Amino acid sequence: MFFLTSARQELFNVAHTYPFGENIDAEFEQYLYENLANYINIIPPVFHAEIRERTLFQNDALMNNFREWCNITIEQFTVKREAIYEKREAIVERFNLSAQTMFLKSFHDGEILDARQQGNQFTLLLDMRGGFTTEAIVQLVFYDAQTEGELAGYYVYDELVETENGFALRVLSSFGSPYAEWTIYFNNVTANYLYRPAAYIESGNITTWDDYVATLNRDDHYYIIENNSLIEVDLAKFSQKDKGIFAGELLLGRTFNEAKERIYCATYEDPYAYFSEPIPVDELQGAMFNSDKTIQTRAFNTIFTLGEDVANIVNNVLRKANVNSAEEMYFRIMASHFEQLGCLEDDVIMKWMKE
């Protein structure tokens, strides 16, 4: 039923081990041999003797065969994984809308905070701070769930399939390697997810609890993770006392940093939205050379947004800009973009596009 197994994933990882086309030193060569030796049972036997004797990398003919085996293994796995993802997209359309949102993303590198069966319901709680989603916390609740295998450490890879009675999810998890293999069978799944406030990610000069709370959106809802559950807290009841920082009677932390780590919000806030705040047109040219990098970035973004409408400003800026300045790459990108739009004048083209 599943293509994804711990053995297949490890085989794929082994095929990625040797850095073909790169020079390696003796220390790295030793590491490579040790790593290959750890997976000797899943590597084709033709390579075993040379791996054990540490002569594989000096045997040109055998290395050509090893390279071919690696390339074929990687290609086969990649093609299959692409098919798995396409199948996943079709299956997810039948999920609850909240679950659709999350299952079209990746749970890769989410830390498994809790995995618990309660009756026929199974709850999986992931901390995504090291992952690839804007969501910081993800809670998946599976219904009519049955599981087999083990979960440990971090959620690494998965495969979703349809079954006669519903769905099944295969997950590989680990603290590194080898992988633990776990499967859950279910007929429905919902998802809850939380974000970090923008000020958590882009804190600027915020150094106190009061300053941090002042940045929080009063119209949003705020949560903490308590006993592996998502607990809503009242922003109006946040307080700092001698013994620490509290939400009502609940201690969030004894210091600002401890308390800040506890807080999540229900609505995504782009922590870098200020970079997209437009600069007035009559201030654009000066802003392009501002020593404040935030203002300069906003100016670049404004120019790209307005496009042909600010062609005159673009030409004037590029005439003034130093080709050898620290921002040369950004000016060159701008020149290339506006040259494609047909907005650059001849002297500007000669300066930026003909070198």
Question: Bridge partners of 160?
Answer: 169
The span from the CA of 132 to the CA of 130, in Å, is: 7
pTM of the shown model: 0.83
Helix (H) or strand (E) holding 76: helix 60-92
Pairwise CA distance, residues 312 & 323, whole Å: 19
State yes or no: cis peptide before 19, omega within 30 of 0: no
Q: Determine the pLDDT at residue 355.
A: 57
Structural domain boundaries in the chain: 6-92, 97-193, 198-265, 274-352
Sheet containing 264-265, strands listed edge to edge, beginning at the edge strand earlier in sequence: 229-233, 222-226, 264-265
Residue 24 has what pLDDT? 87
Predicted confidence at residue 255, as pLDDT, reads: 95
Blockwise average pLDDT, block size 10, the chain, 355 residues: 93 92 90 93 95 94 95 95 94 94 95 96 96 95 97 95 96 90 97 96 89 94 95 95 94 95 95 90 94 92 95 95 83 93 93 78
pLDDT at 168 (0 to 100): 98
Count, residues in the chain: 355
Q: Dihedral (C-alpha) 339, 340, 342, 343: value to the nearest 10 degrees?
A: -50
